[in-house]
Structure 1
Amino acid sequence: MLPILVHLTFGSLWSQLLLYAVALGVVGSIARNGWKGAQGLVTEKGPQAEVKRGDRVQRALLFGGIGAALAWFGLKYALPASAFPGGKGEGIPIHTYGVLLATGFFCAASVAARLARDEWRKVEWVDGKGFVDTEGPLRREQVLDLGFWVLVGGLVGSRVLFILVNWKDYAKDLSSIFSLGGGLVFYGGLIGAAGAAYAFSRVNGMDFLRLADLAIPTVSLGQALGRLGCFSAGCCWGGPAGSHTHLAVRFPGSGVAKDLFGRLTGSGSTAFHSQAADPRYVIEATGEILPQAAPGAVRISEWVAQHGTTLPVHPTQLFESVGQATLFVGLLFLRRHRRFHGQIFSLWLMAYAVLRSTVELFRGDTERGTLHGLLSDSVPALARWVPLEAWYNISTSQFISLCMFTFGATLMYQRTRRLSGEASLGPTPTPAGG
């Protein structure tokens, strides 16, 4: 478990010049992608006009401007004031979580783009070129563009849900809502990304359910890698597993965590920092959490302070990573046999709801939000009827999972019933790409 792979610093002149060159190259690459991705007028029959030079320039400037803004913030954070006005000189810590999350996103986007090209493949005879796929490449580029909007929608949604779950803390200082600190919530990101994808599909004349069928399995691919990042950072951890559990893991504190070169990073795992402030008690042999002292129990904060690591906990990040990888492979196989648009999307909603609810049973991070916490914030008098350690103290994610499963089952029922009705009236063509 490596929360930080390596921490890059930029104290020398050559390293500062190199960072400037990298930033300039990244901005140029983003602008170039904007130029190449410009499209002419698009209808259901495909592109109807050549791309105008002005459209390409406008798109390149838009993408380049966004890239320049990101580069400006990055340089200000990484470089000292002597090399960049107002620079903070923090360097660039390469977090394992960020690397794996970015890898998962790019893998998911690449696979989705490939699936889109095959899904909308339309081979036609074009004079002078022979048989050409006139729609597949266009849809591929559109899905790659969709990746940007999904990223923005996902980040906004995940941040908003995190703030809502922890509203009691943010209400004390509303300005902290806009701080760079804090966390992200997957379900919030999923809702935000889904909203962005729906809007994008409407604007570009794409059937949303058809798009969802090809894109949703890649969400599991990205999340399978993303949860490995959670494991490296020590977030989304499990509850105490007891000393008898062979699969239990312990996350390091700041005095133990090292980088790839074996150097102490001074940055411990999220799980360690949380348990270091946990006033509850635990029976080490069984992992049972108690709200007060009892024979054989030790205070959690004292235990982690003495050992420099967390208690042995369930590796819930790995549980979900394996489950998501299984979903990805299984749904890609089922896409070949789907009977209607929305079938794969419905199956994913139900399957992931079950997977997430099951994993939540082993989670130990109370920061993620629970029914007890919700009642404590809104109706404190009722909170005592739902103890923090009670089995029926469901998490926010379990509640969302219940809603998501219901939505998926309803969509599946409606689409299946509609298909049966159409079948009784005559043969129905198989969905394209099926």
Structure 2
Amino acid sequence: MHPVLFEIGSFPLGTYGLLLAIAFFAGTALAKRQGRLDGLAPAAITDLAIAMLIAAIVGSKLLMVVVDLINGAPLREVFSLGTLRAGGAIHGGIIAATAVFFWKLRKGQGLPLRITGDALVPGVALGQAIGRLGCFSAGCCYGTESHASWATTFTDPLAHAFSGTPLGIPLHPVQLYNTAANLAVMAILLLARPKRAFQGQIFALYFLVEGLGRVITETWRGDIDRGTGWLGWAWLSTGRLTGVAFMMLGLGLWIFWNRRKGTT
């Protein structure tokens, strides 16, 4: 749609980057609000969110590079300026951020692990929803060809240059599907929180519903950079593979923490 919002002299302000910044601040604000309900210090939530953001940026780009290399992309293309400016693979970011979350809280940050996880994940879902609007603006993570009335046609050459987005072809606006899915995840988590049966339940629920949503929305993804054909199955893309892994993680945490009710 609009990869570059406007230019100040020779400096372009990318719509994707701006929306990612908004996503971080909005997600952190929601996490701090949820944390206050359990007596968590807002400053500690902010510090943790910044560390997880850095991990998410690195992890998303690493997974993108790994998938591109597995797909046989030339090294020059994998490490090109356009590729490095791309957002990356979101689930790689979530995996890295989750690892940092467990690591920092196990080190002792003055935050109880499971309650903090419950507070963070609605904000993560909100950040993902806003970030997908950035994907839509940049043209990355595009969908398959569609002749539905709501199909989107990209025309900006920058979208093709940075993401390989097909121009002049109506596509499923799968980025908006993902935004809707992430908003639904956030709503489910917020509605479930007052009925939380054990600490960590909302954290585990996030991985269950996020994984399920990604498995479904992958149906309309058209970009080959996400990787397909894992384990010999053509339908098993990177998004579906990590989505299934997320569901398994969520289920495992749910069962484990449910058996440890009353502990922190």
Does the TM-score normalized on the shorter chain lie above 0.5?
yes
Larger radius of gyration: 1
Task: Indicate the residue corresponding to 1:330 in structure 2.
Answer: 188
Task: Indicate the residue corresponding to 1:154 in structure 2.
Answer: 56
For 1:96, the aligned partner's letter is T
Q: Quick one: distance in 1 between partners of 2:161 and 2:141?
A: 9
Asked if residue 204 in structure 1 is aligned to residue 109 in structure 2, the reply is: yes
Task: Indicate the residue corresponding to 2:175 in structure 1.
Answer: 317
Correspondence 1:40-59 to 2 at 5 A: none
Task: Indicate the residue corresponding to 1:225 in structure 2.
Answer: 130
Q: Quick one: distance in 1 between partners of 2:131 and 2:190?
A: 19
Report the CA distance shift for 1:98/1:370 in structure 2 as closer, same or farther (over 3 A).
same
1:410 Cα offset (Å): 1.8
Native 8 Å contact 1:170 1:177 kept in 2: no
Q: SS where residue 361 of structure 1 aligns?
A: helix
**Aligned with 1:401 (options 243, 246, 250):** 243
Q: Quick one: distance in 2 between partners of 1:164 and 1:174?
A: 13
Native 8 Å contact 1:223 1:324 kept in 2: yes
1:340 Cα offset (Å): 0.8
1:140 Cα offset (Å): 0.9
Correspondence 1:298-309 to 2 at 5 A: 309=167
Task: Indicate the residue corresponding to 2:139 in structure 1.
Answer: 234
Q: SS where residue 97 of structure 2 aligns?
A: helix
Native 8 Å contact 2:29 2:123 kept in 1: no
1:2 Cα offset (Å): 1.4
Identity %: 31
Q: Quick one: distance in 2 between partners of 1:346 and 1:272?
A: 33
Task: Indicate the residue corresponding to 1:103 in structure 2.
Answer: 22
- The higher-RCO structure (CA 8 Å, 6+ apart) is 2
Q: SS where residue 166 of structure 1 aligns?
A: helix
Asked if residue 114 in structure 1 is aligned to residue 33 in structure 2, the reply is: yes
Higher share in helix: 2
Aligned length: 261
Native 8 Å contact 1:234 1:270 kept in 2: no
For 1:201, the aligned partner's letter is L
For 2:113, the aligned partner's letter is F
Task: Indicate the residue corresponding to 1:94 in structure 2.
Answer: 13
- Scaled by the length of structure 1, the TM-score of the pair is 0.56
1:173 Cα offset (Å): 5.2
Q: Quick one: distance in 2 between partners of 1:332 and 1:183?
A: 27
RMSD of aligned C-alpha atoms? 2.6
Unaligned runs of 5+ in 2: none
Unaligned runs of 5+ in 1: 10-90, 121-135, 255-266, 276-308, 376-382, 387-391, 420-427
Native 8 Å contact 1:357 1:401 kept in 2: yes
1:393 Cα offset (Å): 2.6
Asked if residue 248 in structure 1 is aligned to residue 167 in structure 2, the reply is: no
- Scaled by the length of structure 2, the TM-score of the pair is 0.89
Native 8 Å contact 2:86 2:162 kept in 1: no
Task: Indicate the residue corresponding to 1:191 in structure 2.
Answer: 95
Task: Indicate the residue corresponding to 1:144 in structure 2.
Answer: 46
Q: Quick one: distance in 2 between partners of 1:194 and 1:211?
A: 12
Task: Indicate the residue corresponding to 2:210 in structure 1.
Answer: 352
Q: Quick one: distance in 1 between partners of 2:68 and 2:103?
A: 28
Q: SS where residue 5 of structure 1 aligns?
A: strand
Native 8 Å contact 2:27 2:124 kept in 1: yes
Cα offsets for 1:197-244 (capped at 9, x unmatched): 2222123142222111110111110111111111111111110113xx
Report the CA distance shift for 1:270/1:322 in structure 2 as closer, same or farther (over 3 A).
farther
